[in-house]
Amino acid sequence: MIVTKNYMDIKIWLQEQIAQESGKQIADTSCDEEFENFDLDSLSLVSLSYELETKFDLDIGPTVFTEFNTINKLSEWVETQK
Amino acid sequence: MGRNSKITWNPYTPGYFENPYDHLRQCREENPVHIGMQNSWMFFRYEEVSDILRSGEFEVSEINEYFKQKEDYIFSGSGQCPYLSKGTKQWPMYLNGEHHKRVRMAMGKAFNSMPLAQLIKESIEECHLQFASFERLDITDYCAQFIFLVVEKMFGVSNYESLDKIRLYSNLLARSQDLFIPKQVYLDINKQFLWGKKIFSGSPYQEMIESSLEKDDAEEDLYSIMAISLMAAFETSKDNLSLSLYQILRKPDLIDTILSCSTQELNLLIEELFRFSSPLQYTVRINRKPLFVDGMEISENSKLYLCLASANRDSDKFDKPDELVADRNPNDHLSFGGGVHYCLGATIARQELRHCLKPMAQFLKDYQLASPEPIKWSKQIFMRTAKSIAVELKK
């Protein structure tokens, strides 16, 4: 299902996904923490980018997590994508 | 040049899947050896790629070990029975030493026992009957149909499954080797592995492989070899052929050349099509000892990505590397790799083109690439694959 790209919705969704992938609580998933500090391996990041593409109907690659390296930065970027 | 150079390899550079060669040229010229994504070393020049392939000092990485490590993560909560590691366990391009030799010999013996020329000739006639008088057609469908006809004769899969199912099976198995595959796709690949376990029952090819294996080899080892045999015979042949036909249709004079040329001239053109298209764009090796390149030390057991597609376009090795030169000779391309892991299917790929290019040129001479964008590329990195290539009858 494609959802509206509202900044807060994206941010919450990303927090949930990162928490799930890294085995942390959502409350412990800081939106300003760099992704590399979440102890996610490359397969997790590739799988997350696939979820992101599907959820928000985007055409991206796994490098998006390097270019926009926090939940806040990535949420802002996703919101601006048509 | 080295780590501080601006350009680093990134297959997600805009436009890469449509045309990787601009990015690869830039990597080759500005930063030919560097650490790329996922901490792997990237090699772009012909010289290093060729030396590493042909040296006995390097090994291949074992893909089933990777899957073993990742299976808990991939299958968590999926309810699927993990089969990625088992399914890829006997794939010869990921095996080393005696194990590699044994599987390669079994597959080579079975391949060589096939009357391939006859199978190809019969299949091309059947294929042309199916596509006769089409006003528009998709070259990837045309090639897939042809290769399916060859494969069904080789392996005996026709009584069981349709072209669409075999096409999906083969494509997903091929994607298991690609980079940046998410767990969601690995689950799809796993489903295909499980589904395909039934399709080779009664296959004469399977019986030949079985007779070459040790008695204590498990049934799943035999299936792993069957899966890679079918994937290699179907997917790589389809890609080789469809990319070759695309290049021929882009340069229609080649159709006349093919129809009038000698066997020797045809063979030169076929090698040039392999070089120019490079369907297998990358391969991976592991250095068991520290490696020194361009003043950099690469520590032992590093993953080395060798870009065959870039090496095949290196101007230090090939004159006019970005031009398709029908009579290029010599043509020491690396499209089939090199050394002990030289592609087992290379002979088959060559035979297929030798026997089908003339009848296919005859069939396609009345067609032209459809405008404005005839080709759609798949988002695959290791194997360059066209999703569709539209052609239409000339007006």
pLDDT digit string, tens, across residues B87-132: 999 999 999 999 999 999 999 999 999 999 999 999 999 999 999 9
**Å between B39 CA and nearest CA of chain A:** 10
Pick from A42, A49, A60: CB nearest B38 = A42
Closest CB to A61 among B12, B70, B74: B12
| Tens digit of each residue's pLDDT (9 = 90 or more) over B203-240 | 989 999 998 887 666 889 999 999 999 999 999 999 99
CA B182 to chain A, closest CA, distance in angstroms equals 4
| Mean pLDDT of the region B63-68 | 93
In sequence order, the β-bridge partners of residue B303 are B286
State yes or no: pLDDT of B159 exceeds 70: no
pLDDT tens digit string along A11-56?
999 999 999 888 889 998 999 999 989 888 889 999 999 999 999 9
Beta strand pairing call for B303-307 and B291-293: unpaired
Per-position b or e across B18-34, b if 16+ CB within 10 A of its CB: eebbebbbbbbeebbbb
Q: Which of the two residues, B160 and B29, has the higher pLDDT score?
A: B29
Tell me the residues of A at the B interface, defined by beta carbons under 8 Å apart.
Answer: 42-44, 46-47, 49-51, 60-63
Q: CA B48, CA B32: separation in Å to the nearest integer?
A: 9
pLDDT tens digit sequence for B359-376: 999 999 999 999 988 999
Q: Distance between CA B222 and CA B265 in Å, rounded?
A: 40
What was the pLDDT predicted at B104?
A: 95
Q: How confident is the model at residue B201 (pLDDT cuts 50, 70, 90)?
A: confident
> Considering only CB atoms, which chain A residues are within 8 Å of B74?
43
Closest listed residue to residue B182, CA positions, set B79, B73, B82: B73
Q: Is B177's pLDDT higher than 90? A: yes
Residue A40 corresponds to which amino acid? Answer: L
- Ramachandran bin of B281, using left for φ above 0, alpha for ψ from -120 to 50, beta for the remaining angles: alpha
Q: Do B185 and A50 touch (CB under 8 A)?
A: yes
Q: Tell me, what's the pLDDT at A23?
A: 87
Cβ–Cβ gap A43/B38 under 8 Å: no
DSSP B314-360: -TTTSSSTTS--TT--S----TT--GGG--TTHHHHHHHHHHHHHHH
Bond into B372 cis (ω within 30): yes
Residue B138 bridge partners (DSSP):
B390
- Comparison of pLDDT for A77 and B5, the residue scoring more: A77
Kindly list the residues from chain B whose CB atom is less than 8 angstroms away from the CB atom of residue A17. none
